[in-house]
């Protein structure tokens, strides 16, 4: 069943559930929660105002019938590359104009949003011949998407040490002044990886910015130094995708995990495979290699979250930008229970990104994802129809209709269908 492709202009249409970023008094009716309860949820002012038994809550603005849907805290995307997304089939050199980067970023962000991610971090290259142009384009997209999704840019220079690094340091400082950014880096690409990390952490500490480093994590001594330098830095340090950790002997990887846990460093893994969007061509050799050892890291107490990484660019010709796909892979290949896997892409992702906790309880932010299905395992397996809520209003819908041809077998088995209503929406949930 093909994925729906959201059009950039569609989410800008006036919503029947409110015209502002924080619509008032919307009720999500008859939703099933992960604990099995069926409830009404009233949203107001961008937050959950009340949770009651099904049919008990009313609202002046509107009601969305979520019968047959599972209602969950919305996931977040902690590691995207929106500025280069959707370019795998480009003819000729990649266009680097501000307008084209902003268009790609907007389209990619809306794809992530349609799948449920109401917040995302996008790693953006800065420096070199392009200077701050890609970052400026992403910041423009961030402003244009306000009210639909929360987009944060990670400014990622290449070299920060030696004579060649002077320009990179100046550009990174300019990036911090250009707008709200996360300070990033690629220590693996610098002749002095430790000096690179020191420079990034120093600028982040000076400006009070979070840090997100793009690294393979294959050198345990380098990880130990990074952990020692990162301990206590606020508002926090993330590294990823760390596929190299899985290639280390177990005892060495376990010691590195203990050091990262003690320093409070978050690991952002990429279950669909490492992305090479920031690496020099031919230098990133871990395509197809196992991802970060999630169970080992979690057992050591490391906060682990998961992202999508490359999205149909030169590093990966495919990709959905779907947090539920990441959770599916963590459950099917990473050994996590479905509920754990979903938490990795929702609660853990939000915590790593410095966002407020979300629960389907009164008082929490109204950042929610409704998926047609009966439980977490079911929606990770067949997550087609989705309704996304950001700041208390519906900002994206994806509807799928499954039908079977008439046959004695279908009748005898009473196979579930999603039937078309006069308005085109399915009415019956799948098994």
* H/E stretch holding 370: strand 368-372
CB 213 within 8 A of CB 197: yes
Q: Which of these ranges, 98-107, 190-199, 231-240, 408-417, has the smallest mean pLDDT?
A: 408-417
At 253-281, the pLDDT tens digits run 999 999 999 999 999 999 988 786 444 43
Taking Cα atoms as reference points, which of 377, 280, 286, 275 lies closest to residue 324?
377
pLDDT of residue 157: 96
pLDDT of residue 422: 45
As a whole number of angstroms, the longest Cα–Cα distance in the chain is: 76
Give the C-alpha distances (Å, rounded to integers) separating 144 from 47, 111, 246, 314, 391.
22, 15, 39, 26, 16
The CA distance from 131 to 125, in Å, is 9
pLDDT of residue 426: 40
Spell out the long-range contacts of 188-191 with Cβ–Cβ below 8 A and sequence spacing 24 or more: 188/214, 188/215, 188/216, 188/279, 189/158, 189/159, 189/278, 189/279, 189/280, 189/283, 190/158, 190/159, 190/160, 190/161, 190/165, 191/159, 191/161, 191/162
Q: Chain-wide mean pLDDT for the chain?
A: 88
Q: Which of these ranges, 9-18, 69-78, 174-183, has the smallest mean pLDDT?
A: 9-18
Give strand pairing partners of 395: none
At 295-307, the pLDDT tens digits run 999 999 999 999 9
Task: Give the torsion sign (CA, 225, 231, 234, 235).
Answer: positive
* H/E stretch holding 65: strand 62-65
Above 80 in pLDDT, residue 324? yes
pLDDT of residue 288: 44
Name the more confident of 428 and 344: 344
């Amino acid at each position: 069943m093909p994925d729906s492709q959201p059009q950039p202009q569609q989410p800008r249409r006036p919503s029947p559930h409110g015209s502002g970023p924080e619509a008032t008094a919307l009720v999500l009716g008859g939703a099933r929660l992960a604990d099995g309860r069926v409830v009404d949820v009233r949203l107001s002012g961008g937050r959950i105002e009340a949770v009651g038994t099904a049919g008990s809550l009313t609202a002046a603005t509107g009601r969305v019938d979520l019968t047959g849907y599972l209602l969950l805290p919305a996931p977040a995307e902690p590691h995207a590359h929106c500025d280069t997304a959707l370019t795998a089939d480009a003819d000729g050199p990649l266009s680097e104009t501000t307008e084209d980067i902003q268009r790609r970023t907007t389209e990619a962000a809306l794809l992530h949003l349609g799948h449920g991610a109401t917040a995302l971090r996008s790693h953006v290259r800065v420096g070199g011949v392009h200077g701050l142009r890609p970052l400026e384009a992403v910041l423009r997209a961030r402003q244009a998407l306000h009210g639909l999704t929360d987009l944060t840019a990670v400014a990622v220079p290449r070299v920060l040490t030696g004579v060649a690094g002077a320009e990179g340091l100046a550009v990174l400082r300019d990036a911090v002044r250009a707008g709200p950014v996360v300070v990033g880096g690629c220590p693996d690409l610098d002749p002095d990886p430790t000096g690179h990390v020191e420079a990034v952490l120093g600028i982040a500490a000076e400006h009070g910015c979070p840090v997100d480093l793009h690294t393979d994590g294959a050198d345990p001594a380098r990880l130990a130094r990074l952990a020692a330098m990162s301990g206590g830095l606020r508002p926090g340090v993330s590294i990823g995708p760390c596929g190299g950790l899985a290639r280390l002997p177990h005892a060495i990887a376990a010691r590195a995990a203990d050091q990262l846990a003690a320093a409070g460093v978050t690991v952002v893994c990429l279950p669909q495979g490492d992305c090479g969007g920031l690496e020099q061509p031919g230098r990133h050799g871990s395509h197809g290699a196992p991802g970060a050892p999630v169970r080992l890291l979690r057992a050591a107490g490391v906060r682990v979250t998961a992202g999508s990484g490359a999205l149909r660019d030169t590093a990966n010709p495919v990709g959905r930008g779907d947090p539920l796909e990441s959770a599916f892979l963590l459950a099917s290949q990473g050994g996590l229970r479905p509920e754990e896997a979903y938490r990795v892409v929702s609660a853990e992702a939000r915590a790593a990104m410095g966002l407020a906790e979300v629960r389907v309880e009164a008082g929490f932010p109204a950042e929610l994802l409704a998926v047609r299905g009966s439980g977490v395992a079911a929606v990770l397996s067949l997550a087609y129809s989705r309704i996304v809520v950001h700041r208390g209003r519906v900002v994206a819908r994806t509807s799928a209709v499954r039908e079977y041809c008439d046959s004695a077998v279908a009748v005898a088995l009473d196979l579930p269908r999603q039937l078309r209503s006069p308005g085109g929406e399915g009415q019956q949930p799948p098994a």
